[in-house]
Chain A
Amino acid sequence: MSIPAIEAEQLSVSYGGRRVLDQVSFAIEPGSFVAVLGGNGAGKTSLFRAILGLTIPEQGYVRVEGQNFGKGRMPVGYMPQMRRMVAGQLSGWHMVAAALQGRTWGLPWCSARARAEVDAALDAVDARDLAMRPVMSLSGGERQRLLLAQALLDQPRILLLDEPLASLDPARMRETTRRIYDLARERRLTVLFSTHDINPLMGFMDHVLYLAHGKVLLGSVDDVMTTPALSALYGAPVEVVRADGRLFVVADGGADTLHCCDCAEHTR
């Protein structure tokens, strides 16, 4: 068996005094496209931070390609959740270039080689033209493309994408997912793709890593997205509903939609 791209063993992580991951173990195969699912506060971002070495586990460990890379040295491209961007009037190109050069000291002057690297990353996500515009003038989807471009710098072998579909409309969600999927296949990347809504990823993902109540469940969509499997994970009855080829996870009786709230709105 090949060395897992990411392997967690008895991993426990707390955030804000609450244990969000409690002795979880899993192994992600190299080259797989994994949807990381879970509600707000389920620990998706905490898991990514633990993988990146930014959060020290209380217990257990997480390894990348079987090694303990130092912080900032692992072959991982990271796309954080999109928050307020301070770039303002700076162009998207400069934002991406800053990510390329930011680990070295010196003036933010770009050599021809650095410029070519930035251009190549922007070309990969078809964002060369929009990167010439000020970041503040870009839409949410366009900013996501810039963040994806910066995650592709330095030739990563693994991509950690934290809510890349946030603030996108359903058509853009599908388009963005396809773009990421094509890139991953072309470059043989392992992708961990966190999202609240599994439906835009249907047909693209190899596995689902479902987080709830500090525990995780890893497997194929058919194995994980079932009423018995998720009820066992939540420790309470939940129901997985399939309608028009879409999946919804709802609390027992349908009083609360645990996932796909947005989808439920769109399909009404």
Chain B
Amino acid sequence: MFAYEFMRTAFVAAFLAAFVCGPVGWFLVLRGQSFASHALSHVGFAGAAAALLWGQPAFLGFGLSAVLSGMGMGMASDRVIGRDVMIGLVLSLAMGTGALCLHFLTRSAGAATALLFGDILGISPSSLYWLGVLAIGCVAGLAVMSRPLLFASLQPEVAEAKGVNLRLLDVLFLALVGIASAMCSQITGVLLVFTLMVAPAAASLRLGFGPMQGMVVASALALFEAWGGLCLSWLSDCPASFWIALLGSVVFATANGVAHLRGR
């Protein structure tokens, strides 16, 4: 399996995505913003499709649109986050726009499949450099802001009273979610970002770990899903995205069972 360069590249890319998805997903689930991340990945799809149409890399379009949308959501946090209808409408509009862009692409079928369901085996070794830079930047940014972000997530009124800038944290955090979604979409595709970003984090929280351990465990579980999915894909000749999604469900169900047995 490791004799092939595309497999080695895929394993490294999966590692980088899991490294980011653990801590970012942990905060997403804690803050009850899982659905917002789903919407961001769909907006990223529209950006990626538009970038392809203009002859630019899909990843660039995905990243820019997701980050800008995340910052916009953060600035309008009270009016958007947690509003199911608003997020659902944005999500639908983004998918529609993406479909329109793909309609004008001659190679639309392959591009659409890669964007929607991921193409981890198609990641080029040269793009690992950028994935690595983004992963380190994203995790470093989150590490710097994780204390006030945790405070603001758990007790927003008290955090505000203590001088924590809630709006700034919303904007910065959702920008990081945009970056993480872009990275994750390379592995799982737009439609399955949820499985790598949210499932491991939700399982980690369910197991009752504290913040530091919880984020590390979420990353470890995401890595288990991503690498496990790659291995199973190699063995079964089925898409890695399918196996990652399946392992995500298994991980969460197992964590739920363990928590239940421990009486949590």
Other-chain residue from B143, B147, B148, B160 in contact with A54 (beta carbon distance below 8 A):
B160
Residues of chain A with a CB closer than 8 A to B163's CB: 70-73, 103
A54 touches B144 (CB 8 A): no
Q: How far apart are A137's CB and chain B's nearest CB, in angstroms?
A: 7
Bound complex: CA A108 to CA B150 (Å): 8
CA distance A72 to B259 in the complex (A): 38
Number of interface residues of A (CB under 8 A): 35
Chain A interface helix/strand/loop/mixed = loop
Question: Of the 9-residue stretches B43-51, B53-61, B118-126, B202-210, which lies at the interface with chain A?
Answer: B202-210
- Which residues of A, 62-108, contact B by the 8 Å Cβ criterion? 70-73, 76, 78-80, 85-91, 94-95, 98-99, 101-108
Q: What is the distance, in angstroms, from A164's C-beta to the closest C-beta of chain B?
A: 14
Residue among B31, B147, B152, B205 making CB contact with A108, cutoff 8 Å: B147
- Does B9 sit at the interface, judged by CB under 8 A? no
Alpha-carbon gap, A104 to B154, bound state (A): 16
How many A-B contacts if CB must be within 8 Å?
105
Q: Which residues of B contact A87 (CB under 8 A)?
A: 30, 154
The B interface is mostly helix, strand or loop, or mixed, namely helix
B157 and A78 contacting across the interface, CB-CB below 8 Å: yes
Interface flags for B197-215 (1: CB within 8 Å of A; 0: not) read 0000000011110111010
Does A31 belong to the interface (CB within 8 Å)?
no
Task: Tell me if B155 counts as interface (CB < 8 A to partner A).
Answer: yes
Query: Is B208's CB under 8 angstroms from A102's CB?
Result: no
Chain A CB within 10 Å, residue with most, of B31, B155, B259 = B155
A41 to B208, CA, bound (A): 38
B146 interface contact, C-beta 8 A: yes
Contact A90–B32 (Cβ < 8 Å): no
Once A72-B161, A95-B155, A99-B158 are accepted as A-B contacts, the answer to whether A90 and B210 lie under 8 Å apart by CB is: yes
Contacting pair B212 A109 (CB below 8 A): yes
| Min distance, Cβ B188 to any Cβ of chain A, angstroms | 25
Interface assignment of B159: CB less than 8 Å from any CB of chain A? yes
Nearest CB in chain A: distance from B116 CB, A: 31
- Jot down 9 A-B pairs with beta carbons below 8 A, ordered by A: A54-B161, A86-B32, A89-B264, A102-B148, A102-B151, A103-B147, A104-B148, A108-B212, A151-B158
The 4 A-B pairs of least Cβ separation, nearest first, read A72-B163, A102-B151, A80-B157, A108-B211
